[in-house]
Every structure is written in structure tokens, then in C-alpha cells.
Amino acid sequence: MNQVVPNRKEHDPRMHSAEHILNQTMVRMFHCDRAFSAHIEKKKSKCDYHFARNLTPEEILQIEMKVNEIIQSDLPIREQILSREEAGKVVSLSKLPQDAGDKVRIIIIGEYDACPCSGVHASSTKEIGEFRIISSDCANGVLRIRFKIQQ
């Protein structure tokens, strides 16, 4: 009997796309790196960033507003397959394993975000739903943001 082993990158497409938008928003607002760790689930998800402090309530509102603005912009979400060399000119490949092969799949969200990814995504940001930050905390230089989306 053949057993189907699920791909660990097969997250909820809407939540996974929201994670990409959150990451780019953090990069743009705080000039930090993308999350170094993420746990994406249907009901709630989390992203961890190297960051020196917790977010203020005002910053949380600003992040939510920006992420929801991008979602409501109805940007197309598409993939592009590039050679490793070409991809390295467009996006950071620092998290890509050396044995990942010569072809790199880039997920592009309108003109807002592009990054290597093997996960499943929505086809448009408008499909995602409303983004909300549930909580955030910072310990030992790690900012954890917990979030959910509502349809």
C-alpha cells in the first residue's frame, strides 16, 4: 500500500500568503530581516524576527493597516521559476539550502514582495481575508508576532 506523506509546506494558502505580506511589511517598516522562523496554521500563525523590543500598540495598528491595505489592493500572486544565479540577483537566497537544485521558485505578490518559496499560495491578495495581530512579545532579542485572518 502506498502511503501519501503530506508536504510540510502545504499550509493554508491564504495564511501563507499573509505571512509573505507581513514579512515584507516588517522589512519596510522596521528595516529588519524577514522572519527567521514561522509556524503557519489555519486558525493562527506566528513569525519570529530578530528584533530588540516588543511592538507598541500603535506599531501593531500600523502593521495591520498596511497588511490589510495590500490585501485589499487585489494584487496578483504568481510564481516564477528562475535559475539559482538569476534568482540571486532578484531575492536573497540565504535561507535556501545548497542542495535545493539549480531552479528556484519565486513567489511574487504584485510589486510588493518577492521571495523564494515552495508553499501553496492564494492567486490574489483579495482572497486572503482580514489580517489581525493577536499578540506580540519579545524575549532575548526575538520578536514573536501571532496573527490570524478572517474571511
Residue 4 lies in a domain: no
User: pLDDT for 95-107, tens place per residue?
Assistant: 777 777 789 999 9
Residue 8 lies in a domain: no
Mean of pLDDT values over 82-107: 85
Residue 71 lies in a domain: yes
| Domain housing 33 | 13-150
- CATH number of the domain that residue 86 is part of: 3.30.980.10
DSSP string, the chain: ---PPPPTT---HHHHHHHHHHHHHHHHHH-PPPPSEEE--SS-EEEEEE-SSPPPHHHHHHHHHHHHHHHHTT-BEEEEEEEHHHHHHHS--TTS-GGG-SEEEEEEETTTEEEE--S---SBGGGS-EEEEEEEEEETTEEEEEEEEE-
Residue 38 has a CB neighbour count (10 Å cut-off) of: 18
Per-residue pLDDT at 47 exceeds 90: yes
Per-residue pLDDT at 78 exceeds 80: yes
Residue 26 lies in a domain: yes
pLDDT band for 11, please (50, 70, 90 cuts): low
The domain total for the chain is 1
Residue 43 lies in a domain: yes
User: pLDDT for 111-136, tens place per residue?
Assistant: 999 999 888 999 999 999 999 999 99
Residue 6 lies in a domain: no
Residue 54 lies in a domain: yes
- Closest to 115 (Cα-Cα) out of 25, 34, 43, 11: 34
